Structure 1
Amino acid sequence: MAAYLWQAFTAEQMWRNKLGRRVFRFEEEWTTGAASHRDRDHGTLRSEARVHIIRTDKTVAELRDLNLAQQNPKASDAGGLYGITADAVRDYFKPLPGQKLYVSVLLLDAHWDTNSKTIVGHAALGGRVGDLHLGIFGSHCLQSYPSSFEEIVPAFTDCTPTDTAHVGNDCNEAGSSWEAASLGIGAHLHETGHLFGLPHRESGVMARDFVVLNRTFLTREAYSTRTRSRGGPVAQEDECTWHRLDCLRFRSHPCFRLPNDPVLHLDDSVQGWPMDGTLTLTAATGIAYVEIFAGDGGDVCRAWIELPGANENNNSSSSSSSKRKEKLRISAKSYGGGTLDVDDFAKLCSKEEACVKLPGLSKTAFRGKKLGMSAMDGSEPHEFVFSSALRQDRVLSKIVFYHGSAVDGIEFVYDDDSRQLLGKKGGKKGGDVFDMDVRRGEYITGFFVRSGFWIDAIQVLTSLGRRSPLFGNPHGGDP
């Protein structure tokens, strides 16, 4: 039932943000209805969300080890439950290479340890491990959750005090039964937001506003032990929300797509082209919005530009001239879900960094964003100009890719057998060859790159619309 409340809340928030009543869907099965007392009493069959019971290879004692408890400040492996859960989920679903999974997990072995005053077997974490998008949360508030539609209002108005002799008062924000329900359901939704790729926000679910998630489903709030207030009527502006940026992210997320949505281009990447002190952004699927981070704003976005329309939403106060000199970081998002992060906007767009004078030509080239971290021993930058651009007596005839689990180097071979090597020769002996159609004047128009700490894989795009195979590790890094 908690998951259905997530759906109802999210659909309402999307509608209020004028983005349609779209929401993530659950895997379903045909079974006896459990969402309503009436279905249970009459044995009505319905298509309802399927719950998978997954076992780990760990014992209950191992899962409840204080060294794994996230709320234990002395824990030696406070995030260990996330890895254990990820391994169990992968072993259960056995995904194929490249198959994405979106899984939100309730840890049923969470327990309030009265001796250490710590919730063990619990961690509130969400994110991504390869192609597994995973959010986890403990079940220590489960006793307060509604189990059917008829129990939603009673559960969110139950003022029964939390008895810490038996159950925990999580973060001292669950002093009564309804507050425990709101915190547990809301905090798990917060981790599910991380599962969908959402960062922390200045307000909304991805802050800590989920403690008042109950207000979306009530007209009057009960007495709160957290604020020591008697409650009263609930106004819409007092409700918990998804931040506007979260809704914009959901609009283009594959889990939120509707059957009548147009088919998106396969290339979801965002490209940045610095020139003359500006940055031009392009994406085959279109630019959805751009997040702007000020130098002293940390990792929380407080200003952004929505597209189309270029309506700038700046929730921060007006900047002084000194603030304008601070480091500016941007993150551009495409409708296909791609991201381009620019860590230093001014540096990328500066003439010293962006402009490259081509030797022998009166033209200027523009340098793009660096890919890979250059963190491996022996890493060094390589930069060259295609000799076919400098001399008209040769054309590119083939490209040789040297790779193993990552890309070691690329060799460009011309029709006069002259060669240019970017990187080094390594990996597969002799490399893999991609031939260009010289007769039809085929030339390189771009590259598709997957990178992280190094260049994991690369693909050539040509003027004839052809794509080479993805050489290297096609599942490594990020596009």
Structure 2
Amino acid sequence: MCTNNQEKGSSGVARSSSLPISPFAPRFLSVQENQWVHQSVLLVFGQVGLPERPCDGMITVHHHLEGYPPTQWPVNCGYFKVLVHLDPGPNRLRFDFTGAKIPCTSSSVVVNFLPLTSSPPLYLAIVLAKDSPGEYECQSDRKQREGNDIRMAKRKLRMAAYLAQAFTGEQMYRNRLGRRCFRLEEEWAEDSLSNKENGVMHSIAKVHVIRSEKTVAEIQNLETARDGAALLDIASAAVDKYFQYFQNLSVNSKRHVAVLMFDAKDDLRIEGLINHSALSNEIGVCGTRSLYTFPSCLEEVVPAFTDCTRIEGNSTSVNETTDLGSFWEAATSAMGNMIEAFISPQPPVQPRELDRINRTFTTKEPYLFKTKSAGLRICLPQEECNWSRVDCLRLRHHPCFRLPTDPVITAGHDNPQIYAIENGMFASASSGIFLVEIYTDDTYRAHLEFTTKIEREVQLLESELREKLPQDCRSKVIKLKIYSAGQGQTIIDDFSATKGAKVQLPNGYGVAYKSSSLGLSDTDGSKPQEVYLHTLTPGRILTSIRVFHSTALDGLEFVYEDSSSQLFGHRGDKNDRKTEISDFSLDTRKGESLLGFSVRAGSWVDGIEILTSLGRRSPLFGNPHGGTSTLIPPRGRSIAGVSGSCAQCVDCFSILYK
């Protein structure tokens, strides 16, 4: 009986008492009492005993609900790592420690699980060839013991997804970004997270099984040719068709799908796939290499990552090396590749070390056969692999990681806009700027983060940016990647080149600056245009803006109080009945003036909205296609004109400000 330092409640789960706490009672280092989490499987890291007297033993975890059987986890040198399956609501967990010549001791903790059902889920899918026999490559003894069919593949993929969830959730917490994590699409089904077959029903991750229109030979030929782009097309086509016809989701619905290409024997970390992931590119693909070494339930996690069974040398993987290593090394490598394909922000900023993912779930590391070296005696957090700070920041604002307390992002996909100033630039986005990455020679050097408060406008000064660089890089060309909370991104290849955005205004009105341009300006017959607004002259008042539009923006006419006007673009073809003319008036009696524009643009300007100083915005003129960008001058500056180019429609647009 574990009554050393706990009293038992009516549920059988221990609750704290006023008795002295035994030094051998489990202590929790990664979770706090009554903490709220948002993931089904939680990683708990803790300690037993005294630092000067490390001990080994076993932790048994009991859940207060009967549907969750007890699980056992090793204690090594006084440390333990446990994976706990949580139920929505409060989870009262008791941790019993038993060791040689040590009385049984217990500690308990309450963890609250709130599923984030309003966030988009990560879908899990297995894509098979149309003639697939439904068996993955497996070593003979493992095949006899557990099988290698679709049923087992679903269990292993599901467990791998929960491990990725536990790892990512812990990384976000360690980076002080809250208990945030992606959620998996779940279904009410018989629980497979325990090897104790008790027929209990739980919400567990759903794995879709999808048949492709390609054959096994076609898929494996592309794999041998290392044609990742073609394999991605096969997976995308199968997934789109399946979700359209069987899940009532349109082809254009944004979803994140993690795909296991069942008949591909390699890991598929090849050109065309290596910089794709489910969370970054909506679909991520990996193969079944070493799938048989994966755990299929919680009880198998530690054995899977400590199994020193040697791999037989008859594998047909196209990437296999001479020394195949052991089961645990294969499981670690494959698990790292799967996390890279399913979760990772792409493209990577820094080299990732996911080939040590085993250390996240175990407290010691076995012998490494591939390098012929001893593993770690104790795996502490500082020796584990991790998401870099920049990776965590990029995940922080992903829609799948949103918390109920996060501000609502209404701007959609909002690319940051760049505004040059005398000694640097402003970056602006309606959804806010949260990250600026600094590069030289296409290599990441440093970053600026805005996590406490997302800034809608960020000033970037060249002197401050260069101070953040290593000494030997401070004279080199600076490249920036700027991220918005609306999942937009803008790349500045040469920070110093923004000084060329200076424009000399006529009639002695001084200097203006040009914003970043929207549209590609590559339409046949495109000609540059610039309009300097008459409002530069004191006393001139802009009263309305007339918009000429059809399926794109044809032109803008700025109308003044004396009925004079200025035209940017053209008024459209008079014989073309599709051209529409829309007027948007400013309330000059209240001092309303032109503030900026919200622009829909791709190769050309699809549509435009007019923004005013009183917070009004016009209807959308044109069509709603293309990415959304907002052009508003930095604080303390006003619009001096517009610039761009025009052919049949406006194919490039920017604002001038001073």
TM (norm. structure 2) is: 0.61
**1:226 pairs with one of 362, 370, 373:** 370
8 Å contact 1:397–1:414 — kept in the other structure? Answer: yes
**What is the aligned partner in structure 1 of residue 199 from structure 2?**
43
**1:108 pairs with one of 262, 280, 303:** 262
SS across alignment from 1:369 = coil
**What is the aligned partner in structure 1 of residue 609 from structure 2?**
459
Residues 1:385 and 2:532 aligned together: yes
**Residue 308 (structure 1) shift:** 5.5
**Residue 143 (structure 1) shift:** 1.1
Quote the Cα distance in structure 1 between the aligned partners of 2:371 and 2:469: 29
Classify 1:380/1:293 alpha carbon distance in 2 versus 1 (closer, same or farther; 3 Å): farther
SS across alignment from 2:208 = coil
Q: How does 1:77-226 map to 2 (within 5 A)?
A: 77-94=227-244, 95-96=249-250, 99-111=253-265, 124-127=273-276, 133-168=282-317, 170=319, 172=321, 175-194=325-344, 197-204=345-352, 209-226=353-370
Classify 1:414/1:33 alpha carbon distance in 2 versus 1 (closer, same or farther; 3 Å): same
Classify 1:7/1:174 alpha carbon distance in 2 versus 1 (closer, same or farther; 3 Å): farther
8 Å contact 2:228–2:268 — kept in the other structure? Answer: no
**What is the aligned partner in structure 2 of residue 305 from structure 1?**
448
8 Å contact 1:111–1:122 — kept in the other structure? Answer: no
**2:401 pairs with one of 256, 269, 291:** 256
**Residue 386 (structure 1) shift:** 2.5
Quote the Cα distance in structure 2 between the aligned partners of 1:137 and 1:262: 34
**Residue 247 (structure 1) shift:** 0.6
Quote the Cα distance in structure 1 between the aligned partners of 2:593 and 2:301: 63
**1:409 pairs with one of 546, 549, 554:** 554
8 Å contact 2:535–2:541 — kept in the other structure? Answer: yes
**What is the aligned partner in structure 2 of residue 318 from structure 1?**
470
The one-letter code matched in structure 2 to 1:139 is T
More strand by share: 2
Quote the Cα distance in structure 2 between the aligned partners of 1:227 and 1:478: 51
**Residue 389 (structure 1) shift:** 4.0
From the CA coordinates, give the structure whose radius of gyration is larger.
2
**1:279 pairs with one of 411, 425, 439:** 425
Quote the Cα distance in structure 2 between the aligned partners of 1:91 and 1:238: 43
Classify 1:423/1:329 alpha carbon distance in 2 versus 1 (closer, same or farther; 3 Å): farther
Classify 1:227/1:399 alpha carbon distance in 2 versus 1 (closer, same or farther; 3 Å): farther
**Residue 449 (structure 1) shift:** 2.8
Quote the Cα distance in structure 2 between the aligned partners of 1:21 and 1:83: 35
8 Å contact 2:433–2:483 — kept in the other structure? Answer: yes
Quote the Cα distance in structure 2 between the aligned partners of 1:305 and 1:217: 32
Quote the Cα distance in structure 1 between the aligned partners of 2:398 and 2:577: 37
Classify 1:340/1:413 alpha carbon distance in 2 versus 1 (closer, same or farther; 3 Å): same
**1:368 pairs with one of 492, 515, 520:** 515
8 Å contact 2:478–2:493 — kept in the other structure? Answer: yes
**Residue 459 (structure 1) shift:** 3.0
Quote the Cα distance in structure 2 between the aligned partners of 1:132 and 1:202: 19
Residues 1:34 and 2:192 aligned together: yes
Quote the Cα distance in structure 1 between the aligned partners of 2:447 and 2:477: 16
SS across alignment from 1:232 = coil
The one-letter code matched in structure 2 to 1:81 is L
Q: Which deviations, in whole Å up to 9, do the C-alpha atoms of 1:347-377 show, x marking residues without a partner?
A: 11x2xx2322222352432111223333443
**Residue 11 (structure 1) shift:** 0.8
Classify 1:149/1:434 alpha carbon distance in 2 versus 1 (closer, same or farther; 3 Å): farther
Quote the Cα distance in structure 2 between the aligned partners of 1:303 and 1:121: 28
Quote the Cα distance in structure 1 between the aligned partners of 2:592 and 2:530: 23
**2:435 pairs with one of 263, 278, 289:** 289
Quote the Cα distance in structure 1 between the aligned partners of 2:424 and 2:465: 20
Classify 1:140/1:401 alpha carbon distance in 2 versus 1 (closer, same or farther; 3 Å): farther
**What is the aligned partner in structure 1 of residue 210 from structure 2?**
54
Quote the Cα distance in structure 2 between the aligned partners of 1:313 and 1:44: 57
**What is the aligned partner in structure 1 of residue 582 from structure 2?**
433
**What is the aligned partner in structure 1 of residue 497 from structure 2?**
347
SS across alignment from 2:371 = coil
Classify 1:247/1:314 alpha carbon distance in 2 versus 1 (closer, same or farther; 3 Å): farther
Quote the Cα distance in structure 1 between the aligned partners of 2:231 and 2:318: 21
The one-letter code matched in structure 1 to 2:496 is A
SS across alignment from 1:79 = helix
Residues 1:333 and 2:483 aligned together: yes
**What is the aligned partner in structure 1 of residue 544 from structure 2?**
397
8 Å contact 1:304–1:314 — kept in the other structure? Answer: no
Classify 1:221/1:145 alpha carbon distance in 2 versus 1 (closer, same or farther; 3 Å): same
Classify 1:160/1:168 alpha carbon distance in 2 versus 1 (closer, same or farther; 3 Å): farther
**Residue 80 (structure 1) shift:** 0.7
The one-letter code matched in structure 2 to 1:100 is K
Classify 1:442/1:111 alpha carbon distance in 2 versus 1 (closer, same or farther; 3 Å): same
Classify 1:99/1:159 alpha carbon distance in 2 versus 1 (closer, same or farther; 3 Å): same
SS across alignment from 2:168 = helix
SS across alignment from 1:136 = strand
**What is the aligned partner in structure 2 of residue 115 from structure 1?**
none
8 Å contact 1:434–1:468 — kept in the other structure? Answer: no
Quote the Cα distance in structure 1 between the aligned partners of 2:509 and 2:309: 79
Classify 1:9/1:448 alpha carbon distance in 2 versus 1 (closer, same or farther; 3 Å): same
Q: Which deviations, in whole Å up to 9, do the C-alpha atoms of 1:175-227 show, x marking residues without a partner?
A: 32222211222112112245xx43213233xxxx1111111111111222332
SS across alignment from 2:310 = coil
**What is the aligned partner in structure 1 of residue 32 from structure 2?**
none
Q: Which deviations, in whole Å up to 9, do the C-alpha atoms of 1:301-329 show, x marking residues without a partner?
A: 2211122589x999997324xx4332211
8 Å contact 1:202–1:302 — kept in the other structure? Answer: no
Q: Which deviations, in whole Å up to 9, do the C-alpha atoms of 1:66-110 show, x marking residues without a partner?
A: xx22x63xx5x4411112222222222234486321111111111
**Residue 385 (structure 1) shift:** 1.6
Quote the Cα distance in structure 2 between the aligned partners of 1:332 and 1:376: 28
Quote the Cα distance in structure 2 between the aligned partners of 1:315 and 1:125: 33
The one-letter code matched in structure 1 to 2:336 is G
8 Å contact 2:256–2:283 — kept in the other structure? Answer: yes
Quote the Cα distance in structure 1 between the aligned partners of 2:496 and 2:466: 19
Quote the Cα distance in structure 1 between the aligned partners of 2:465 and 2:171: 18
Structure 1 unaligned spans of 5+: 113-117
Count of residue correspondences? 449
**Residue 391 (structure 1) shift:** 7.7
The one-letter code matched in structure 2 to 1:288 is F
Structure 2 unaligned spans of 5+: 1-158, 453-457, 459-463, 630-658
**What is the aligned partner in structure 1 of residue 505 from structure 2?**
358
Q: Which deviations, in whole Å up to 9, do the C-alpha atoms of 1:362-407 show, x marking residues without a partner?
A: 2432111223333443344332222444485563423324343xx4
**Residue 60 (structure 1) shift:** 2.4
RMSD in angstroms over aligned alpha carbons? 3.4
**Residue 43 (structure 1) shift:** 0.8
SS across alignment from 2:354 = helix
SS across alignment from 2:211 = coil
8 Å contact 1:123–1:138 — kept in the other structure? Answer: no
Classify 1:417/1:88 alpha carbon distance in 2 versus 1 (closer, same or farther; 3 Å): farther
Quote the Cα distance in structure 1 between the aligned partners of 2:290 and 2:257: 20
